[in-house]
Structure 1
Amino acid sequence: MEAQFIFQTMMRHRKNLVKILENTPEPALADIPEGFRNNIWWNISHILVVQQLLCYKLSGLPLNIPEDLVGMYSKGTFPGVLPDPAERAEVGRLLVDTVGKLEQDYNDGVFENYTAYKTSAGFVLSSIDEALQFNLYHEGLHLGTVLSLLKIVR
């Protein structure tokens, strides 16, 4: 799969998520309907964190997001208190900015090393290219969850 297509698709997903963040009332962002384990806010923030972990951390590079987000939205975490509007705006900005940074870093060849990682879905990632492909799959799953949650909580 061509990396340029991955970045374009990721950016489109992320811009859709930013619109959802901007246009969804706070109670709806926080609501966890019966049958779900998390909310819209958690899913969106989780997407941001996982991309950074899969691409940067496993490449031995510093993350481009605040460390506290990792602790709150990594795999195995659960929704907490909704952030204030400034934090929501920061996550919205980071959703877009981190895609541009990832693309630039990829094109600049900064991902020289990669620590193999087996995902909870059973995929073994052994390169940045595999991480990019899996990340797109992961983001699509969570975007689908966000869209399902939107139908229920609105």
Structure 2
Amino acid sequence: MQALFKAWKASRKLYLDLFDTYSLDQLNKIPAGFNNNMIWNIGHIIATQHKLIYKGSNLHGHISDELFNKYQSGTKPTEPVSQQEADELKTLLTSQIEQTINDYQNGIFVTYNERTTGIGFHLTSVQDAFECNNFHEGLHLGYAMSIRKFV
């Protein structure tokens, strides 16, 4: 699991770098031909990690229902993200990892609801969910990297 956590932290650092490189207006911009923006992709990976790991384990997790509902699969941006929400997402990029690793090390993930995800991963355990999460975050990092070329 240590290698998986290391990869996850490296991925999240690349997402964090978007906040340092682009203005809030740029993060919110939806370029022609796209249906979302860089900041939606950031919110989406946070919501998906929550769903894959915590909800899949029948646990509440550490993000609000409001944030989860705004960025879960099937959503898209409906209004620009405020600076306050952008700051929350930026904080969650790192705090979510540390909390989840602590929860994992403390053994709170006891059961898991077996299912196949929308991207075709068959999940039978929280370990599967962590692996799927890293793959999913890589996909959305690619989307964000494409969007950045047009803002």
- TM tier, shorter chain? over 0.9
Partner of 2:116: 118
**Normalising by structure 2, what TM-score?**
0.94
Could you tell me how far 1:46 is from its partner in structure 2?
A: 0.1
- The Cα shift of 1:29 comes to 1.2
Distance 2:142 2:33 in 1: 15
Gaps of 5+ in 1: none
CA distance in 2, matches of 1:85, 1:34: 23
2: distance between equivalents of 1:112 and 1:30? 38
- Please give the per-residue CA displacement for 1:76-121, whole angstroms capped at 9, x wherever unaligned: 0011222221221111111101101111111111110000121111
The two structures, once aligned, show a CA RMSD in angstroms of: 1.2
Say if 2:29 is the partner of 1:31. Answer: yes
**Displacement over 3 Å in runs of 4+:** none
Q: CA deviation at 1:149?
A: 0.7
Offset, 1:41: 0.8
Contact 1:45–1:91 (Cα < 8 Å) also in 2: yes
Q: CA deviation at 1:17?
A: 1.1
What CA deviation, in whole Å up to 9, does each residue of 1:41-69 have, x standing for no partner? Answer: 11010000100110001101112011111
Q: Look up the match of 1:68.
A: 66
- CA deviation after TM superposition for structure 1 residue 23, in Å: 2.8
Counterpart pick for 2:49 among 48, 51, 57: 51
Segments of structure 2 that go 5 or more residues without pairing to the other structure are: none
**Contact preservation (8 Å) 2:28, 2:81:** no
The Cα of 1:27 is off from its aligned counterpart by 2.2
Listed one character per residue, the Cα deviations across residues 8-62 of structure 1 (whole Å, up to 9, x for unaligned) are 1111111221221233112211222222121111101000010011000110111
Are 2:100 and 1:102 equivalent residues in the alignment? yes
- Aligned equivalents of 1:77, 1:117: Cα separation in 2: 21
Sequence identity, in percent? 36
